[in-house]
Structure 1
Amino acid sequence: MVSEPNGRRLLLVLLVGVTVGAVLGPSVNALPGFSDHTGPSEMRVTSFERLDAGCEEQVGNAVHSSTGGGGYSRTAFIRTADTDANLSVQVRRTSPAGADLSVFHVDVDSHHDGPANTSCETGVVYRVALEPHGGSDEGLVPDAHGTEVLWFNDGELVGCSASLTSPLESTCDGVGRDEPRRVWANGTGG
């Protein structure tokens, strides 16, 4: 039979051992309740549609991106040799597997046969929607994680969307823009 002081000593040694093992072990994320949350492991195209086509002066201003409901979407104009050009979309992950920040490139490319239009700069307005899949789940104590989507038209970087937690930083600031950086805020007075 173990006396009470020896039992307390044994319990103390076990607690110290577990604590040291957790600190010196591979990661605090291995402990129950902690997280090694990562961004998604893949991004799938859920829709890709052609909305309009014509001269850039008439249809080229329809550009916007949105993030919400777990997905990403972008409506944009791509210059093409003619209004009948075919479009294709491909998504590829460029960050390493298991990274906290999952980075994806969305490539929209135009393909055309025949003579090019010479009366104006022509193009196509399209909309693409993406849905993330995979990645690790949040634990009780989540860590930094996020997603960044870089948008390309015929190999040219034209935009960036991001959703992330601190302390991760996005490279989206100013991507695809020649104009100065702007900060937007909404607020209510009291």
Structure 2
Amino acid sequence: MVSDPKRVLLLVAIVGIVIVGGSPNGVNALPLFSDHTGPTEMTVTEFERLDSGCVDEMRKYASSSTGGGKMSKTTTIRTNSADANISIWTERTSPPGADMSTFRVHLDSESDGSSDDACQTAVRYRLTLELSGGSPEGILPDAHGYRVLWLENGNYSGCSASVTSPLRSECDRFTPNAQPERTWANATVSSPST
């Protein structure tokens, strides 16, 4: 039996080093430590039609907020009529256990997408989403977060993200005029010997 406090601390330190060194999760395998991941589920909790009219007039007001595991967005979608059906569904596009969870929110309406009309009909709506799941925080900070890509009638309409360093949300790459990320390296061309 070990009664010396120094030996007890040494034994605990050795056991901790063995657990950390032998586990693919490292320090997260220790008690009270966890691999904090992004949320695993995104659920539509509220949808409300606020107004309808010409798209230019409807788009003058938009807002969004995030907090307490909820996201709220007020914006506009093009439709063929003021009472057109609008469908909403979400999908997770990241694998389970990812540090950064990625989602897509699809909003589809009865719309031909025509922009030639002097008054293309649009509906302003408010949508609330709830994020849940994922691993909880441990004692030590761990990189985690989420990114949400918004699609209206199959087209990009925005991107929201909340991540901790060193994760990158990379929302810019979804914008309509985005350029692909490039990595440059010098290359040497040798001429064939004759």
TM-score range, shorter chain: 0.7 to 0.9
Code of the aligned partner of 1:25 = S
Q: Flag the 1:80–1:13 CA change in 2: closer, same or farther, 3 A.
A: closer
What is the CA deviation profile of residues 99-135 of structure 1, one whole-angstrom value per residue up to 9, with x for unaligned ones? 01011111011037xxxxx552111111110111111
2:139 equivalent in structure 1: 140
Code of the aligned partner of 1:67 = T
* Aligned equivalent of 2:23, options 14, 22, 25: 25
1:11 CA drift (Å): 8.4
1:22 CA drift (Å): 2.0
Where do 4+ consecutive residues of structure 1 move more than 3 Å?
10-18, 173-178
1:73 equivalent in structure 2: 72
SS in 2 for 1:19: helix
Code of the aligned partner of 2:109 = S
Code of the aligned partner of 1:128 = L
Percent identity reads: 54
SS in 1 for 2:171: coil
What is the CA deviation profile of residues 29-48 of structure 1, one whole-angstrom value per residue up to 9, with x for unaligned ones? 11112220111110111101
1-structure distance, mates of 2:145, 2:38 = 5
1:155 equivalent in structure 2: 154
Total equivalences in the alignment: 171
2-structure distance, mates of 1:81, 1:94 = 30
Code of the aligned partner of 2:93 = T
1:106 aligns with 2:86: no
SS in 2 for 1:173: helix
Q: Flag the 1:70–1:17 CA change in 2: closer, same or farther, 3 A.
A: closer
1-structure distance, mates of 2:149, 2:15 = 46
2-structure distance, mates of 1:14, 1:170 = 39
TM-score under structure 1 normalisation? Answer: 0.78
Code of the aligned partner of 1:151 = W
Stretch deviating more after TM superposition (42-51 or 61-70): 61-70
2-structure distance, mates of 1:144, 1:86 = 40
SS in 1 for 2:98: coil
Q: Which runs of 5+ in 2 are unaligned?
A: 112-116, 178-194
2-structure distance, mates of 1:44, 1:24 = 38
TM-score under structure 2 normalisation? Answer: 0.76
What is the CA deviation profile of residues 34-82 of structure 1, one whole-angstrom value per residue up to 9, with x for unaligned ones? 2201111101111011111111122122222221232111111111122
